[in-house]
Structure 1
Amino acid sequence: MSPQQKALVVPHKQGNFELSSRSIPSPGAGQLLVKIQSAALNPVDYKIKDSGSYVTHYPAVLGTDIAGIVEELGEGVENFGKGDRVVAHGKFTNDFTGFQQYTLTAASFTAKIPANESFDSAATVPLGLDTAVVGLYGDQFGAKITPPWEEGSGGHESKKPIVILGGSSSVGSYTIQLARLSGFYPIITTASPSNEELVKGYGATHFFDRSLSGKQLLAAISEVTDDPINLVYDAISLPETQSVAWELLADNGTLVLTLAASVKENEGKGRRVVSTFANPHIPENEELCSSSWAKVEKWISDGTIQPNKYEVLPNGLEGIIGGLERMKLGQVSGTKLVAHPQETQ
């Protein structure tokens, strides 16, 4: 194996992507070296490039959704072997990112890919699923619901309504599936009409057009349930969707956002707004995400969690540049874009 690999880098703060080469890292304790077969794209990737946030060292390699083959095991790694097909949630440190041909992964946030799934479909899971997990179940960055896989959770969310705005987004789709696992009912979601069957396939019980105003949506939901809406997960979190969510939310309810809040909590109704932060590597999320990652292989295998629909980009790592541009322009809906780093010329 060559000690060098190809990588797509941001050469300096807010710089344009360029193809480069960098050393292949060696795994430390609790880590795996993975040859990346598929890397999925996320909006955060172009936002980091454009804003220069999150990243402190340049040239920087981005990408957190990783699927590939285990090449080498670090000290103390159990339950994995060389040649295993794995999926992992990377982090924004160059040796642990996805837009390159080899990366390190933390064993705690790596899972085997079941035989019935491809690298491409598995790569759509990590960030979307972790954002749903932390947003619903996190103490610090979530709604503090008891995870359904914990002993004694006893389906106590059973028959409570939940509203998920943006159900066809990656985060929205995994939130719908976890809401089903937690026993919420009805599971109400919004999306564009072309994605109605998609979100119902994930487990949404009721679908409404995302173009409805807050008042229209509230009226439509009141036809579905008389119960107060104590939990809204806004997977889009633009100011306009946040204001819709705020209109729906009952007194003392929780609004989970994937971006910074533009609505104000101080309306005297005891409502809570939480901007989720789904990095599994930070201390606040480590225990929760370790427990959910221990379930990922089984969830994907038995269909509890369906990966996203995906589209493969051409031209290896270079294809990521155009893919992120399409995402930025709003030209991607209900589909995850996936690149093949090994096909880089």
Structure 2
Amino acid sequence: MSPQQKALFLAKKQGDFEVGSRSIPSPGHGQLLVKIQSTALNPVDYKIKDTGMVVTHYPAVLGADIAGIVEELGEGVENFRKGDRVLAHGHRTNDFAAFQQYALTIASFTAKIPPSESFDSAATVPLGLDTAMAGLYGKQFGAGITPPWTKNVCESKQPIVILGGSSSVGSYVIQFARLSGFYPIITTASPSNEDLVMDYGATHFFDRNLSGKRLIAAISKVTDSAIRIVYDAVSLPETQSVGWELLAKNGILVLTLPPSVKEDEGKGRKAFQTFGNPHISKNTELFRSSWAMVEKWLSEGTIQVCSATTVLDLSHIYVAEQA
């Protein structure tokens, strides 16, 4: 294996992407070296490029969603072997990022890809899945409800509203809401995606183009129970405003972008931006338990992969090099 690899660099803050070479890293304790076959493109990638947020050292390699083949094992890794097809949640350091031919992954946040899934489909999972989980189950960055994989779901049913249910994050929120026993599971999307979100587990669908007042009125006819959780996977000011109005006293509005609504002490409602990064200490416990379930979920069809994510197939790079 060549000690050098191709990588897509963000050359400087708010600069352009450039293809270059960098060394292939070696896995340390609890790590894998993965030969990347597919990676997903996420909105955060262009936002980093355009705004210069998050990244402090350049040239930088971006990309969070890894799907590929295990090339080498670090010490202490027991559940994987060379040649395994895996998916993993990358990290915002160059050795662990996805936009290159080889990357390191943390074994705790890596799972085997079942035969039923391709590299492309597996690459749509990590960031979307983890953002959905953090928003629902995270104690620091979420609603803090008990994860369904840690106990039997026997709570009394309560409603949940997911704005943007056909998005990458929204699709996983719907599926976890189903596992957690929410009812009704109310979502918005384009009419062309109604069947899709219902297949994910939504019980009630509304056109995303409805005005805020009409949507609120329609949802009030579905349930008269207090809505204590709204997950806004869109999180634009107009959707945040609708989600905010839907919330009952002491309700939680989970967002994927910074809040544009203001918390009010009188009703006790809270709005906050979730953070689906398994590599920070506040998320470690949650994601270690959830990533232990990912292969099983995908194998059994408990979780369906998202069809809304753009995927970059890197396998042609290796073919070109061998030619």
Aligned to 1:154: 153
One of 286, 289, 294 as aligned partner of 1:288: 286
Deviations 1:213-263 (CA, angstroms, capped at 9, x unpaired): 222111101111110111100001111110011111111111000110000
Counterpart Cα distance in 2 of 1:71 and 1:232: 42
Give the CA RMSD over aligned residues.
1.0
Counterpart Cα distance in 1 of 2:219 and 2:30: 47
User: For the Cα contact (< 8 Å) 1:64–1:98, is it kept in 2?
Assistant: yes
Determine whether 1:259 maps to 2:257: yes
User: For the Cα contact (< 8 Å) 2:135–2:276, is it kept in 1?
Assistant: yes
Deviations 1:165-198 (CA, angstroms, capped at 9, x unpaired): 0001000000000000001011000011111111
Q: How far has the Cα of 1:31 moved from its partner?
A: 0.4
With the length of structure 1 as denominator, give the TM-score of the two structures: 0.91
Counterpart Cα distance in 1 of 2:178 and 2:161: 12
Counterpart Cα distance in 1 of 2:227 and 2:210: 17
Aligned to 2:207: 209
Counterpart Cα distance in 1 of 2:313 and 2:153: 42
Kindly provide the amino acid, as one letter, of the partner of residue 217 in structure 2. A
Aligned to 1:337: 310
Q: How do 1:223-238 and structure 2 match up within 5 A?
A: 223-238=221-236
One of 215, 219, 222 as aligned partner of 2:220: 222
Structure 2 segments unaligned to the other structure (5+ residues): none
Q: How do 1:297-316 and structure 2 match up within 5 A?
A: 297-309=295-307
Structure 1 runs of 4+ aligned residues shifted over 4 Å read: none
User: For the Cα contact (< 8 Å) 1:164–1:176, is it kept in 2?
Assistant: yes
Counterpart Cα distance in 1 of 2:150 and 2:241: 33
Counterpart Cα distance in 1 of 2:71 and 2:204: 45
Aligned to 1:327: none
Kindly provide the amino acid, as one letter, of the partner of residue 114 in structure 1. P
Task: Give secondary structure in 2 for the equivalent of 1:223.
Answer: helix
Structure 1 segments unaligned to the other structure (5+ residues): 310-334
Q: How far has the Cα of 1:267 moved from its partner?
A: 5.1
Counterpart Cα distance in 2 of 1:78 and 1:47: 37
Count of residues paired in the alignment: 318
Which one is further off, 166-175 or 51-60? Answer: 51-60
User: For the Cα contact (< 8 Å) 1:37–1:69, is it kept in 2?
Assistant: yes
Aligned to 2:48: 48
Kindly provide the amino acid, as one letter, of the partner of residue 154 in structure 1. V
Q: How do 1:1-345 and structure 2 match up within 5 A?
A: 1-151=1-151, 153-156=152-155, 158-266=156-264, 268-309=266-307, 335-344=308-317
Counterpart Cα distance in 2 of 1:71 and 1:186: 45
